[in-house]
Structure 1
């Protein structure tokens, strides 16, 4: 299966590349600055070089940037930070889908998988806080659902899904790791995600799945 990993230099992205190559898969890697998901021109240029991938995984995301992190309360809301989270977590993956879905096979099984998060589930929100990250991931989950509906007109066996990898030991989660909480090594997270992807069926398109294959309600 010809595979494209976007965000291949990140913790989960690089682990996905390693796991796929160990399985003998042909993997094409994209990461910044070659492909910046907030720059549509670079996304289009990457798609033009990608051939006809059967699997595309978007392993990008923004939770903190070293100076700013998840908002703990309403008083922490900042328009610029909110916009940046939407740009990376929702708009960027949508632009990738805009340019990569049309080059994927029109017949047979294909999968576009985007890393999302359980905190993007509105029904699962019991703690509040993390306004921008929650909202941008919820927007991503809605975009995935909408993309899936349209993609069925292109390829009825195509699958577009959002995946929650769990809490993985990467730079993204490092400041928020809690003692005693399940924490996955990137390699294990990659294998778990690939197992979920392998088990996806056309009727799963548009949904959000956790690392263990359980569907997460929107």
Structure 2
């Protein structure tokens, strides 16, 4: 419609003769069709470019979607690992807490026992005082016994150390005795060998001196 309006306007303004008008009209129409062809070619080229761009966008979108999925899977795996680790740490903390509570309960029980023992000892002290017993003298006696016990412990420790040294010396002496026995056995073997060799030499000498007699049959 736009092309038709332009051609009508141009034809009305020229007012030429029929032949010139026909030629001019044909030229104008040809030019308009040429412009239309160019526009059509441009539009087709633009459409093809848009299609290629659309395909590229589809490929990019698919790659982006795949990358997002991979990242999502990785994050999901990391989240699962962290969740498992968190569960393990929570269990360890709970176990540690339970163990600490158990230790605390045992300590509290021992504290209660010591408290009861303290009360009992205080009652015992009062009973002793009521009976007229000199608590100070008893304490001095207990301290003396403790000191003597400490001295005895020290003496026992010294005796134990001396005993260990004696045992070590005895072990070394036993080892030396074993070596001496081995050496004595060796010398006994050497002596027996020497005695045999000496006996053989005596036999040879006697045989040389008395060829008619043997060593076991001496001369009459």
Q: TM-score, normalised by structure 2?
A: 0.13
Greater Rg by CA: 2
| Structure having the larger proportion of residues in helix | 2
Q: TM-score, normalised by structure 1?
A: 0.14
